[in-house]
């Protein structure tokens, strides 16, 4: 039986992170079915994710967003994150937040690279949560990162 | 069968954004019925939207507000946004937040233009969410904005 | 049949805003019954309002508070506001927040004037929400304020 | 019939505020039964209070905590306060928050005095909420404070 | 009958705090069964904890995380804390938050020491909450800390 995975993304973002995530997921497994739901902005993502879970039957959802660099945008990202948190607690399902802040990258080219790379690496986390939780347990405390380099475990 | 669309707005705002949104919606489709609910201020919007959904049967709601430029006003906007987020999660319906901050515009004339333009462009998003989700999916990651110019996709 | 209106206020506030609000409400209509509930501080207001709605049968509630001027007080006001927001969403009833910050007025005399005036003008809003929603709709986007002068609609 | 009053406190705090509150409550009335629940830190208080209400049958609870002076501690206090707010709204019972910030006092001696005094004065509020709400109503808008001096009503 | 204790941790953290906590718990008692659940990051912890409680039957959970030193990381930690708070209120079970901020330690070696020590001392708190609440009550107001030195009660 296939497991439904929701992919919620936005027209506000400046990179098509969803396609990168979907490609990675389909490379890793054929046991899932992707359901995509595009909304205007980040703050529309939480209810979109909840609908993917409760109305579409998704077992897990990725929420892909790209906050701008202004203070206002950071407040929006915070509100969206709180909504994603609440949506998870109301459904007992994971929603993997994949947010890339515009000011994390030095130029548009790096932004595109970072956004896709982070989406792919979080797609891998979705796979592990669904099919291989032991992999995550083995990497507990290892300082893994999504997008830029892993920082690694603290040297003792 | 017509779909009910709620429009919640305030007497605090300095521009009649609701009329602009309603006009745009009616231009785009005749398959909807508008239900308008005006409240005093932004923080009255979340329960107004929830009542529009649960008591009036709206399938989607627009929440139109205009925070002032002071720090206190920004905190109010944040509280209203959190309430709109929660109202969506409690109802599984979209509430499209259309907030225009007074300090986004250089003068009253631009403020009026911006507020109406953003209301119209978000009215288009309401139309797409109800009747043409494929349009949103095609524009995923394209850097769309409501009000000012779209910023576009990041150049790779 | 009379409609029950709740009035929740605090011993922390430095002005008896409740009496001003009650007087105004009783001047405007005889179709309501006031139920008053005084608590120690602002953060006790949300549950007091929820009890007024759920245990006393109030259709709408005014929450009257007066945050002090220190940073700590502003955080308290934010927490109280979030609680009032949640209480509204849990009950589908309006709770009109009437907060007057100590630093909004230049001296104690103006503070007393402002607090009573804002309480009265929000009492009028309660009346409109209950009995004359068309009045609010007619004033949508008109830049109305409670306490100090209305700022008016943006000039186009 | 005795009314159960919950007292939740922490090992993190530097003053035994609970004993001061319990002593005061027992001096004021014999119609209550105290149930105490000590947890490690402030952020453990909200669920402790909710358990006191829902599992132990408390009619009202005091939550006694002492945030440290660092920025991190202030964020913790904010999170704990939000939790106490939510716990009240989920149970329709008052939880009287008695937080003393380390930086409110000039030295350890004043801190101990302040913490106990505030706990006692809030214990009085618990008594009034349970047995004499008219007393609170008579003092509405009087600028009462717990711990330091009352500031009094604004002079008109 | 054994009591189930959940241990939720992350691959983002740079120290394996879970192993330290589990070792300590097993040293203190044989009356518990540990259920471990590793997730990618801090913001995945709240729903993981709720699943441990509701789907795995845990009586109490430890949530182990390590926020980075940047502003963005502090916002994430705040969101995760709010989620843990809510998860506790939705389940009436304690979730002991054990967060170590990277900037609390002067180097990686101290970070590793601090993270493990704090995890161990909070494991002791889990033991006391489950089996010896009187110990916590005896230490109420004693200024206990987890990780660094206890600060002790305020000198009167």
Q: What is the CATH number of the domain that holds E57?
A: 3.40.50.960
Largest Cα span, chain C = 48
Question: Which are the contacts of E1, defined by CB distance < 8 A and separation ≥ 6?
Answer: none
Closest-CA distance of chain C to residue D82, Å: 6
Q: Is the Cβ pair E12, A145 closer than 8 Å?
A: yes
Q: What number is the ipTM of this complex? A: 0.97
Residues of D in contact with C48 (CB under 8 A): 94
Q: Are strands B60-65 and B32-39 parallel, antiparallel or unpaired?
A: unpaired
Question: Which are the contacts of B51, defined by CB distance < 8 A and separation ≥ 6?
Answer: B37, C92
Please state, rounded to an integer, the average pLDDT across all residues of chain A: 96
The tokens of B17 are what? Answer: 């954004």
C53 with B11: CB under 8 angstroms? no
* Chain C touched by D86 (CB under 8 Å): yes
* Chain E touched by D56 (CB under 8 Å): no
Report the 10 Å Cβ neighbour count for C142: 18
Packing angle between helix C17-28 and helix C108-131, nearest 10 degrees?
40
Q: Is the Cβ pair E155, D11 closer than 8 Å?
A: no
Can you tell me the distance from the alpha carbon of A89 to that of E47, in angstroms, rounded to the nearest whole number?
Answer: 5
What is the side-by-side strand order in the sheet with E95-99? E32-39, E3-10, E60-65, E95-99
Residue with the bigger pLDDT between D1 and A44: it is A44
pLDDT of amino acid C16: 98
Residues of A in contact with E86 (CB under 8 A): 85-86, 89
Q: What is the DSSP string of C48-64?
A: HHHHHHHTT--SEEEEE
Please tell me which of the candidates D10, D36, D44 has its beta carbon nearest to residue E94. Answer: D44
Q: Is the Cβ pair C11, D155 closer than 8 Å?
A: no
pLDDT of amino acid D39: 98
Report the 10 Å Cβ neighbour count for C81: 26
Average pLDDT over residues E79-97: 98
If you ran DSSP here, which 8-state letter would residue A102 be given?
G
Annotate E25-37 with b (16+ C-beta within 10 A) or e (fewer): beebeeebebbbb
pLDDT of amino acid D11: 98
Average pLDDT over residues D49-66: 98
Residue stretches of chain B with pLDDT short of 50: none
pLDDT of amino acid D69: 82
The pLDDT tens digits of the residues spanning C1-50 come to: 799 999 999 999 999 999 999 999 999 999 999 999 999 999 999 999 99
In terms of Cα–Cα distance, which of E43, E109, A113, D82 is closest to C75?
D82
Can you tell me the distance from the alpha carbon of E154 to that of D112, in angstroms, rounded to the nearest whole number?
Answer: 6
The tokens of E6 are what? Answer: 């959940």
Please tell me which of the candidates B88, B122, B129 has its beta carbon nearest to residue A46. Answer: B88
Please tell me which of the candidates C95, C136, C153 has its beta carbon nearest to residue B15. Answer: C153
Coil vs helix vs strand at A144: coil
The tokens of C13 are what? Answer: 């506030």
Q: Is the Cβ pair C12, D145 closer than 8 Å?
A: yes
Is the pLDDT score of A1 beyond 80? no
Can you tell me the distance from the alpha carbon of C71 to that of D127, in angstroms, rounded to the nearest whole number?
Answer: 29
Residues β-bridged to residue C6: C35, C61
Average pLDDT over residues A92-101: 98
Residues of A in contact with E38 (CB under 8 A): 133, 136-137, 139-140
In terms of Cα–Cα distance, which of B46, B40, B44 is closest to B10?
B40
B146 part of a folded domain: no
Place of tokens 């005094």: D117
Residues of E in contact with D83 (CB under 8 A): 85-86, 88-89
The tokens of A47 are what? Answer: 């209810």
pLDDT of amino acid A71: 87
Can you tell me the distance from the alpha carbon of D131 to that of E130, in angstroms, rounded to the nearest whole number?
Answer: 35
Is the pLDDT score of A68 beyond 90? no
What is the side-by-side strand order in the sheet with A60-65? A32-39, A3-10, A60-65, A95-99
The tokens of B4 are what? Answer: 């009910």
Annotate E6-20 with b (16+ C-beta within 10 A) or e (fewer): bbbbbbbbbbbbbbb
Please state, rounded to an integer, the average pLDDT across all residues of chain D: 96
Can you tell me the distance from the alpha carbon of B19 to that of B116, in angstroms, rounded to the nearest whole number?
Answer: 8
E153 part of a folded domain: no
Question: Which whole-number Å values give the CA distances from E155 to A119, D39, D40, D42, D110, in the listed order?
Answer: 54, 22, 20, 21, 9
Question: Which whole-number Å values give the CA distances from B92 to A97, A106, B130, in the listed order?
Answer: 19, 38, 14
Query: Does the model's pTM come out above 0.95?
Result: yes
E3 with E59: CB under 8 angstroms? yes
B144 part of a folded domain: no
pLDDT of amino acid B114: 97
E93 part of a folded domain: yes
Is the pLDDT score of A81 beyond 80? yes
Show which of residues 117-156 on chain B sit within 8 Å of chain C, judged by CB atoms.
none
Q: Based on the structure, what is the number of domains in chain D?
A: 1
pLDDT of amino acid A156: 84
If you ran DSSP here, which 8-state letter would residue E46 be given?
H
A115 part of a folded domain: yes
Q: Is the Cβ pair D16, E122 closer than 8 Å?
A: no
**H helices of C6-156, where?**
17-28, 45-54, 71-91, 108-131, 133-138
pLDDT of amino acid D122: 98
Please tell me which of the candidates E38, E86, E111 has its beta carbon nearest to residue A140. Answer: E38
C80 part of a folded domain: yes
In terms of Cα–Cα distance, which of D41, D39, D61, D38 is closest to D49?
D61
C87 part of a folded domain: yes
pLDDT of amino acid A85: 98
What domain range is B43 assigned to?
3-138
Can you tell me the distance from the alpha carbon of D80 to that of E2, in angstroms, rounded to the nearest whole number?
Answer: 31
Q: Is C51 exposed, middle or buried (0-12, 13-18, 19+ CB in 10 A)?
A: buried
Please tell me which of the candidates A13, A90, A108 has its beta carbon nearest to residue B89. Answer: A90
Percent of all residues in chain A with a pLDDT value above 70, rounded to a whole number: 100
Please tell me which of the candidates C89, C146, C151 has its beta carbon nearest to residue B50. Answer: C89
* Chain D touched by C86 (CB under 8 Å): yes
Task: Please give the backbone phi and psi of residue B6, each rounded to the nearest 5 degrees, phi first.
Answer: -90, 140
Q: Is the Cβ pair B92, A50 closer than 8 Å?
A: yes
Question: Which whole-number Å values give the CA distances from D88 to A152, C44, D39, D85, E83, in the listed order?
Answer: 42, 9, 18, 5, 17
A92 with E51: CB under 8 angstroms? yes
What subunits make at least 3 CB pairs under 8 angstroms with E?
A, D
Closest-CA distance of chain A to residue B35, Å: 21
B145 part of a folded domain: no
Largest Cα span, chain D = 48
Closest-CA distance of chain C to residue B139, Å: 32
Angle at A63 between CA A77 and CA A100, to 5 degrees: 50
Residues of E in contact with D116 (CB under 8 A): none
Can you tell me the distance from the alpha carbon of C151 to that of C144, in angstroms, rounded to the nearest whole number?
Answer: 6
D100 with D69: CB under 8 angstroms? no
């Amino acid at each position: 039986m296939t497991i439904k995975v929701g992919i919620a993304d936005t027209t506000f973002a400046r990179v098509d992170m969803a396609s990168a995530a979907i490609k990675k997921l389909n490379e890793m497994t054929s046991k899932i079915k992707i359901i995509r739901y595009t909304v205007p902005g980040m703050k529309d993502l939480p209810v979109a994710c909840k609908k993917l879970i409760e109305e579409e039957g998704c077992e897990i959802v990725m929420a892909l967003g790209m906050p701008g660099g202004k203070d206002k945008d950071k407040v929006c990202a915070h509100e969206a994150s709180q909504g994603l948190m609440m949506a998870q607690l109301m459904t007992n399902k994971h929603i993997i937040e994949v947010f890339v802040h515009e000011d994390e990258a030095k130029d548009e080219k790096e932004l595109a690279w970072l956004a896709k790379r982070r989406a792919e690496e979080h797609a891998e986390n979705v796979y592990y949560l669904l099919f291989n939780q032991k992999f995550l347990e083995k990497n507990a405390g290892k300082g893994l990162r999504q997008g830029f380099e892993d920082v690694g475990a603290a040297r003792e």
